[in-house]
């Protein structure tokens, strides 16, 4: 087990609104059963307010998702923490994230694993996320514009894969990029009837567990 391997200097220095983050972790995340100490510590560390559009800044640590532009949302803090815990990261993994969005979850993952590869189909969101991650000094993340339905074949295999938009079914192309023993965590299904699932690869088989009922934006094909 590794400690948090990459709390960047700048992120450490961000004491701004630390009390709100501590309260968020106590009242929304630990209180609902997230136990992984590294996840709790990372949630206390990442300045979520920097990933939220200015008009919503005051609500950055509240218990719900928020609009981030282009019709997309940053997930509720609890859901971000729950999914990060579900990936069972120890610190040495290479992780694929599909749906960079604001880059908030990307920043969290950067503190929990060795290397993060994050894809987004909307250029405006990707550029915003890239700028915030850079300003925080995060240096173990690669982001790129791309259609997540195809995954990121050049960088495969991944020890963990996380989707933050919901397909009807997990595309085979993505499953093929999961390493043996690797975990994929994703919302699956149509809006109104989505389930968060974890699939663990065992050779040619995938063990599937249903974890939670959820409401995510739909995964869409192509670039925008």
List the interface residues with ligand SAH, window 43-82 (CB under 6 A).
Answer: 68, 72-75
What's the min distance (Å) between Cβ of 205 and ligand SAH? 26
Site for ligand SAH contains 128 (CB under 6 A): no
* Site map (CB under 6 A) of ligand SAH, residues 155-194, x = contact: ---------xx-----------------------------
Cβ nearer to ligand SAH, comparing 114 with 220: 220
Cβ nearer to ligand SAH, comparing 28 with 164: 164
H or E stretch at 184: strand 178-188
Instruction: Look up tokens 């995510």; give the residue.
Output: 216
Cα–Cα dist 185/162, whole Å: 5
Does residue 33 come out as left (phi exceeding 0), alpha (psi in the -120 to 50 range) or beta? left
Backbone angles phi, psi at 203, to 5 degrees: 65, -120
Closest by Cα among 25, 12, 13, 102 to 56: 102
Decide: 166 and 186 in contact? Cβ < 8 Å.
Answer: yes
Site for ligand SAH contains 148 (CB under 6 A): yes
Reading the block at residue 98, the tokens are: 């599909």
Cα–Cα dist 202/90, whole Å: 19
Cβ nearer to ligand SAH, comparing 99 with 189: 99
Q: Is 224 a catalytic residue?
A: no
Cβ nearer to ligand SAH, comparing 181 with 221: 221
Residues with a known catalytic role: 75
For ligand SAH, the binding residues (CB under 6 A) are 68, 72-75, 98-99, 101-102, 104-105, 119-122, 125, 147-149, 164-165, 217, 219-221
């Amino acid at each position: 087990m590794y400690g948090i391997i990459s709390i960047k200097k700048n992120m450490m220095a961000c004491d701004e609104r630390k009390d709100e983050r501590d309260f968020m972790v106590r009242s929304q995340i630990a209180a609902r059963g997230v136990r992984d100490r590294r996840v709790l510590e990372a949630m206390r560390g990442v300045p979520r307010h920097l990933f939220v559009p200015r008009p919503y800044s005051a609500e950055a640590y509240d218990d719900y998702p928020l609009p981030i532009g282009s019709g997309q949302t940053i997930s509720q803090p609890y859901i971000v923490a729950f999914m990060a815990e579900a990936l069972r990261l120890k610190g040495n993994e290479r992780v694929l994230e599909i749906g960079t969005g604001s880059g908030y979850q990307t920043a969290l993952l950067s503190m929990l694993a060795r290397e993060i590869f994050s894809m987004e189909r909307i250029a405006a969101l990707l550029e915003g996320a890239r700028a915030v991650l850079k300003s925080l000094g995060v240096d173990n993340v690669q982001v790129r514009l791309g259609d997540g339905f195809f995954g990121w074949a050049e960088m495969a295999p991944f020890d963990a894969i996380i989707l933050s938009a919901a397909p009807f079914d997990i595309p085979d192309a993505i499953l093929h990029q999961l390493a043996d023993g690797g975990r994929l965590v994703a919302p699956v299904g149509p809006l109104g009837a989505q389930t968060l699932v974890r699939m663990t690869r065992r050779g040619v088989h995938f063990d599937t567990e249903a974890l939670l009922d959820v409401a995510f934006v739909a995964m869409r094909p192509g670039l925008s």
